[in-house]
Copies of this chain bind each other. A is one copy, B any other.
Amino acid sequence: MKNIKLTIEYDGTNYVGWQRQDNGLSVQQVVEEAIEKITGERVRVNGSGRTDSGAHALGQTANFHTKTSIPTIRLPAALNSVLPDDIAVKDARCMPLDFHARFSCKAKEYMYQVYNGKTRPAVMRRYCYHVPKDLDGDAMVKALKLLEGTHDFSCFKAAGSSVTNCVRQIYRADLSKKEDMLIFTFKGSGFLYNMVRIMMGTVLEIGMGKRPVENIPKLLESKDRSLAGPTVPAKGLFLVKVYY
């Protein structure tokens, strides 16, 4: 028995997210079906975590147990030959049997792309959120720095999430710019449901001058989701890397 870790890139536009759902096609289901086509085995693939419907991944990870005789190094090419063109396996490697993509995870990195041009984007339309208003980059960077560190992030957790311990550590929250595209990156010990998208909605309000930078510490202290900004669209969100 082997325990294989896959690194998977996907364009989430046409999926209900990573995790199997009743209401549509998930990336997990497509990957499990591809593994079955290649190995003949029906397996359960454990992702590092859910990704939202319409969100993307450059480096989602997942593991599964298999008795296949296909050499691990050949798995990416074999799987890519049967996967649809919006999902690609970037890497496969053999791990200790107790490795679990979700429970062994040490940190994650996300990216959120905001297109700040005056008119809507065409080429990158699936991969960014269009904000035509002027944004104050300095204020947003200050806000990002206030989000770094260990905090109770309850205020940035989607209503309805059942998680009770909301303390997480954000190691790094940065902003870079390439022409009209603003690229926000967040690396942290873990992220609550919709946390990046709600933090982004809040940071963008700060960028628009609708909310002062100084609001961030009070907001964290309040633990009240209704005081934070809106949940921005999933299409700007990328799971970049999962650390073990």
Contact = CB atoms under 8 A, between A and B. Distances in A.
Interface residues on A, range: 20 to 34
Interface in A32-85: 56, 58, 76-77, 80, 85
A14 to B, nearest CB: 11
B127 A58 contact: no
Contact of A125 (B56, B85, B90, B238): B85
Contact of A88 (B10, B80, B121): B121
Contacts of A121: 9, 88
A119 interface: yes
Contacts of A88: 119-122
Nearest to A120: B88
A120 B58 CA distance: 12
Interface in A87-119: 87-91, 117-119
A123 interface: yes
A58 B117 CA distance: 12
Contact of A90 (B86, B117, B127): B117
A11 interface: yes
Contacts of A56: 123
Contact of A10 (B91, B123, B238): B123
Contact of A123 (B80, B120, B125, B127): B127
A11 B80 contact: no
Given A90-B117, A117-B90, A85 B122 contact: yes
Given A11-B125, A86-B125, A88-B120, 15 more contacts: A9-B123, A58-B123, A76-B119, A80-B119, A85-B120, A85-B125, A87-B122, A88-B121, A89-B119, A90-B117, A90-B118, A90-B119, A91-B119, A123-B127, A123-B238
Interface of A: 9-11, 56, 58, 76-77, 80, 85-91, 117-123, 125, 127, 238
6 contacts: A11-B123, A76-B119, A80-B120, A86-B122, A87-B122, A90-B118
